[in-house]
Amino acid sequence: MSDKEQKIALVSGANRGIGAAVAAGLSRAGVHVLLGCRDLKAGEEAAAPLVAEGGSVTPVQLDVTDAMSVAALAEKLQGDYGHIDILVNNAGVGLDYVPGMSMVEKMEQTLAINVVGGLRLTEAMVPLLEQSAAPRIVNVSSELASFGLRHDPAWDHHDKIMPTYAASKAAVNALTVGYAKALADKGIKVNAICPGYTATAATNFMPDRTVDQAAVVILQMALLEDDGPTGGFFNDQGALPW
C-alpha cells in the first residue's frame, strides 16, 4: 500500500484505555495512526508495541483543552500529510464521582474537555478532512446521554447517576447532529457512538467489558463505507435513541 493510498487517522486521548485499543485496531486495519496524547512520552510508550508488530503509528502531542496545542498539530499535519481521513474524538473525562469538587467545578472541567475540546479539535481538523476521499468523524459519546433510554423504565443503568458527564455527552450528541448536516456537502460522515461501560482507569476497572470490545463500534464507524450512515448514534448492537 502506497503512502497515498494508506488512510490516516487521528485519535485523541489514545495512549491508554479505549483510545489505545482504537489506535491498535486502526493500525491493524492498515491505517496510519496519529496517536494523540498530552504527554508525548506516554504516547511513544503506547505506540512502541504497535510499531514492533509492524503497525504504522506516530505519537503526536495533543491537548484538546489547549488551543495552541491543537493549532500546532493542525499545522504539522498540514505540512506532513496535507490531509487526514479519520478523526476519532475520544479524549474525555468523567468527574461526577470525584470527591472534593463542587458540581459547578465538575461541570466546567467536564465541558472544557468533552465538549469544547472536541469542538476545538474538530474545527481544526475539518480543513484536513476536506482533502480526504472518504472523511469520517467519530465522536465518543455515552448511552447516559440518551434521553430516550433514561426515560425507559426497562433500561438497566438507572443506577448510574452522572449528571455532569451525561450532560456533556448530550452536548456531544447535539454537535454530532449539527456537524453531520453542516459537513454533508463536503462528504464528511459524522457519527456518535457509545462504547459501553468498560473496564478502564476512568471506571476503576469495575466492569468486565474489555477495551477491545468497546473499540469495535468505533472502528466500524471510523472505517465506514460510503453508503454508511451519518448523523447517527450507535453502540455495537445498532442505533440508539437520542
Just list the catalytic residues.
165
As to burial, measured by CB atoms within 10 angstroms (0-12 exposed, 13-18 middle, 19+ buried), residue 167 is middle
Beta bridge partners of 192: 139, 233
The answer to whether the CB of 240 falls within 8 A of the CB of 155 is no
Beta bridge partners of 117: none
Cell of 87: 478523526
The answer to whether the CB of 49 falls within 8 A of the CB of 37 is no
The answer to whether the CB of 242 falls within 8 A of the CB of 185 is no
Number of H helices, E strands in the chain: 8, 8
